[in-house]
Amino acid sequence: MLKIGLTGGIGCGKTTVSKLFEQLNIQVIDADILAHQLVEIDQPALKEIALAFGTDMLNVDGSLNRKKLSQIIFSDSRQKQKLEAILHPLIYEAIQTALKSIDSAYCIISIPLLFETNMIDLVDRILVIDCPEQTQIERVLKRDAMPLAQIQAIIANQVSRTYRRSHAHDLIDTSIANDKLAESIKKLHNSYISLCANQDKIVCE
Task: Give tens-digit pLDDT for 15-51.
Answer: 999 999 999 999 999 999 999 999 999 999 999 999 9
Contact 116, 177 (CB under 8 A): no
Phi/psi at 174 (5° precision): -90, 5
Give the 3-state secondary structure of residue 153.
helix
pTM of the model: 0.89
Q: Count how many residues are written for the chain.
A: 205
Q: What is the pLDDT of residue 118?
A: 85
For the chain, which domains are there? 2-204 (3.40.50.300)
